[in-house]
A and B are shown apart, each in its own frame.
Chain A
Amino acid sequence: MTSENRSVFGAALSRRGFVKAGGALVVGFGLVGAKAATTRNSLDASLPESWIEIHPDNTILIRTGKSDFGQSTTFTAYRQIVAEELNARFEDITTVVMGDTDRTPDGSGAFDFLGSGTPNIRKAAAYTYQALLDVASQRLGVAKGQITAKDGKVSGGGKSFSYGELVKGQQLKLTIPVKGDLTSLMGLTVDGIPPLKPVSQYTVIGKPYRNSVTASKVAAKEQWATDVRLPGMLHARMVHPKNLGATLISAGTLDKNKFPNAQLVVKGNLVGVVAPTEWEAIKAAQQVESGTKWKEWKGLPGHARLFDYLKRDADWKTTKVTQSDKTKGDVAPAMTGAAKKLSATYQLPYMKHAPMGPTLAVADVRKDGSVFIYTHNQNPQALRGEIAQMMGTTVDNVVVRTFSGPGHYGRSNGGNAGAEDEAVILSQAVGKPVRVQWMRPEDFQWSTQSPAALSDVEIGLDASGKMIAYQIDHYMPAMQDDRPIGAVLAGMPTMAAPNEKAVFVQSTVNDIQDPWLYDGVRTLVERGHGTFQVGQKASPLAVGLRDHSMRTPGQYQQNYPRELAVSEAAALAGADAIQFRIDHTKEERAIGVLKAAREASGWETRPAPKKAAASGGLLRGQGVSVMLRSATYWACVAQIAVNPSTGAITVEKCTIAVDPGIVVNPMQLKRQVEGGTVMGVSHTLLEELQFDESGITSRDWRSYPILKMADIPEIKVVLLNNPKVGTYGGGSEAANALAAPAIAAALFDATGKAVRRLPLKPEYVAGVLKA
């Protein structure tokens, strides 16, 4: 380092020409396209221009590894955050580059965009702003403290420059400190603590800016992943195994008379058909499938026996039991001495992420060994690593480009969406670019699911109705299987299947994910029990029911039993369910959202169940749930009607109160909350994966129905802007998880019957009500 280098807030600044810093060649401030440095086909994340380019015409470009999947964050919140930290205008940020592995610096997935308030892009902008001030100080001839920066201009000493003028020809050197592994789940993290703009000076954050990609999607001008066509590209359809454990006996013969241009590719248990046109590929694949023979396999419990299997037969011993760090006191004597006790088991089925479009990808394995993938993926850098592993090459030979597509809700946040690896395998086999598009049944039957779970809860109340002991044991199979399925079927290298020794998400360990809110409870035990995926060990394909995190992952499976049990405990105590929660917590923001939901919903303060005269008509009830996720507090009140003879539930109204701290964009947050709520009602009333002893039998929207427009509740969203928190939490998750415990509690309120398994389908509900 030269003598003029100095460390500013963790970032190394230098004023001299080209110097080596952190192993990377540091080049000039970003006037031109960012340059690759250490790894071919990668940006050097330590260079400011890899993140943010300020152009001579005062337009600004930002780059992020995080792809927008409908959250709107990269096109709205990220632009607002960068504009704020740079003291530029929202409109100055004209370009957002996201997801492409060779054009973005940091990786990680389409989740936790706001990073509890300090996402990478915010820190990169804050560092860049300090560097800008440094240049400005020199140009204006005044100290940094005397510079005013506003709307993309700096002023001081009687002079003024736009940012574009300021950076033109400049050789400012700034090294952004980063740590982590680019192709890991979490990617790179910007390190250090740059000075951040005080909240009191915000002018851009908090305003309802529109999502810039909406206009192109609405006008049919967006390039979707479904639109990617390469010269010489072939269309492909897969012939997936007959079930989740079926190995190939023999592939059917392709009828060359009918399909003269098609080709059959077989590699291990992977069978695919390629053809110049999509329709020929579809018909040829159907013809091959009819003649393909698979070994019979049975090794799953079937959905009707699922919870018996999980309770009695699954291996919960091999995997370490976890405990939350909130564990306190001695639960056993408190429970023994309790005046009243609730003891219950809650069950939640497998659910599908069910994107509106089945997975697809185009891959081009080139003669020089490089691999290009054009897809729609929540974690392109992780996918890049997985493809490199599969192909036995290094990541610098793999490029993943990301395009718009259907929401995945977590399904591809560990890299693989389903079709990418298969497209690579087929492209390598035929020597041409190949587009693999899964059909609808394949997308239900060969993709991952959100894991089923069950929880045993015991709650002890004292004579005054206060919770004095709370014990919960959560049971859930491994939640994240990121092995590319095509690579597994073809027998090519992948990461290991989820196991007890793996670290982080690929492990069978079931961590406590739902932050405890009831600190007024004297004794507490929360335990997590993990196991292998159902069928994973029995399947000759090592497949079974593969799981993957889904919107509010893990926490969904843990918050539903907790919140429903707390509502039942309130009833046992003869207390109002909202007041009962408030009386057991000291967390002001939890109390704030509960009170806001109470007020906005027209909640009746009284104990449940409602003593309604059953007049043969509908029964009505109310229920509540509360959650802390990604630094945001949530409460939901559901008001329902149920027909006691048919068990049919109508969710009439959902009121959601949200306190994320600072609301970055009220319009976009409201839409996210509404959407998440609809998804949550859908989960609660309708969704349950159907499977038999061999495989998944849900195959389309009839066998896996989701909520239709006619069945949506009135949705009321209350946004609590809470600037004194000083930062902003996430808003795209959680809403989908709030509905289930609130609706089930409302059903209890309406009927006096505890219904403890999801989904709340009419025949099941009617059965419980009659019992």
Chain B
Amino acid sequence: MATLVVNGARREVQAPADTPLLYVLRNDLELSGPQFGCGLAQCGACSVLMDGKEIRSCVTPLSAAAGKEVTTLEGLPGRWAQQKGLSAADAAKTLHPVQQAWIEEQTPLCGFCQNGMMIKATELLEKTPAPSVAEIKAAFTTSGPSAHLCRCGSYTAIIEAVQRAGAMMGGKR
């Protein structure tokens, strides 16, 4: 059994300690944001934030997440609401600017990889509110355990959405 904080709520999980966090999130906690893409930390579809840092939940054992704060795609609106001090009522009808920008730029094609893309964008923008194109490319290519891969080729749209989200979050260049 392990206790972790997922999207702001304390959760107790019965799964064996070596279970990859991804299966715990999807099967035990019924969260559908992180996707199984490779199970090898090579694509980024399963990304979540752990204590604010992007990790690959497909290779992170439950034991390594115990006691940590995990944010999934579902938790991005709450994370933003908390950062901005929004009321519970406002928070409930708010998307994270990254999600909003993804809609406005019509970024996803099939959308399967976009969970990880939005998690990565959130991690980037929390540290670098107005990234250059080169910084965005570096974040999505070399900053994590592997590049974030998109087979549909939405990279151009992702760059545009990250820039839009940064502007919405108040980032100035």
| Contact call B150/A279, Cβ cutoff below 8 A | no
A366 interfacial contact with B, CB 8 Å = no
Known: A214-B111, A709-B141. A226 touches B151 (CB 8 A): no
* B150 / chain A contacts, CB cutoff of 8 Å: 356, 678, 709
Q: Considering the complex of A and B, which 8 residue pairs feature the smallest CB-CB distances, nearest first?
A: A678-B153, A70-B110, A675-B153, A70-B109, A407-B110, A406-B112, A710-B141, A708-B147
Interface string of A627-653 (1 = CB under 8 A from B): 000000000000000000000000000
Can you identify 28 A-B contacts, CB atoms within 8 angstroms? A69-B110, A70-B152, A211-B108, A214-B108, A214-B111, A217-B114, A218-B102, A220-B33, A220-B72, A222-B111, A226-B35, A279-B20, A279-B23, A356-B45, A356-B110, A405-B112, A406-B112, A406-B113, A407-B151, A667-B106, A671-B106, A675-B153, A675-B154, A675-B157, A676-B153, A678-B155, A700-B42, A711-B141
Q: Return B162 CB to nearest CB of chain A, in Å.
A: 10
Contact in complex: A220, B74 (CB < 8 Å): yes
B171 within 8 A of A: no
Q: In chain A between 218 and 243, which residues have their CB closer than 8 angstroms to a CB of chain B?
A: 218-220, 222-224, 226-227, 229
Residue picked from A71, A218, A409, A674, most chain B C-beta under 10 Å: A218
> B132 within 8 Å of A by Cβ?
no
Q: Could you say which residues of chain A place their CB within 8 Å of the CB of B118?
A: 218
Which one, B73, B107, B153, contacts A679 given CB within 8 A? B153
Q: Do residues A675 and B40 form an inter-chain contact, with CB atoms below 8 A?
A: no
Total number of B residues with any Cβ neighbor in A under 8 Å? 59
- Among residues of A, the one whose C-beta sits closest to the C-beta of B32 is A227
Asked whether A357 lies within 8 Å of B45 as measured between CB atoms, the reply is: yes
Verify B151–A355 contact, CB threshold 8 A: yes
Residues 445-459 of A at the B interface (beta carbon under 8 Å): none
- Residues in A677-733 with C-beta less than 8 Å from chain B: 677-679, 682, 700-702, 706-712, 715
Return chain A residues, CB-CB under 8 Å to B137. Answer: 709-710
Residues from chain A with Cβ under 8 Å of B73 in the complex? 219-220
Residue B31 interfacial (CB < 8 Å): yes
Interfacial chain B residues near A672, Cβ < 8 Å: 109
Chain A residues whose C-beta falls within 8 Å of the C-beta of B37 in the assembled complex: 356-358, 440
Render A393-429 as a binary contact track against B, CB cut-off 8 A, 1 for contact.
0000000000011110100000000000000000000
Residues of B contacting A440 in the complex (Cβ-Cβ under 8 angstroms): 37-40, 42
Contact yes or no, B36 A437, CB < 8 A: yes
B148 at the A interface (CB under 8 A): yes
Q: Is A215 an interface residue (CB 8 A)?
A: yes
Measured in the bound complex, the distance between the Cα atoms of B16 and A407 in whole Å is: 33
| B79: min CB distance to chain A, Å | 13
Cα(A682)–Cα(B142), bound, Å: 18
Distance in angstroms between the alpha carbons of A592 and B78 in the assembled complex: 50
Q: For the complex, is B65 an interface residue (Cβ under 8 Å from A)?
A: no
Q: Answer whether residue A210 sits at the interface, using C-beta atoms and an 8 A cutoff.
A: yes
The reply to whether B103 and A218 contact each other, CB–CB distance below 8 Å, is: yes
B169 within 8 A of A: no
Contact between chains at B108 and A70 (CB < 8 Å): yes
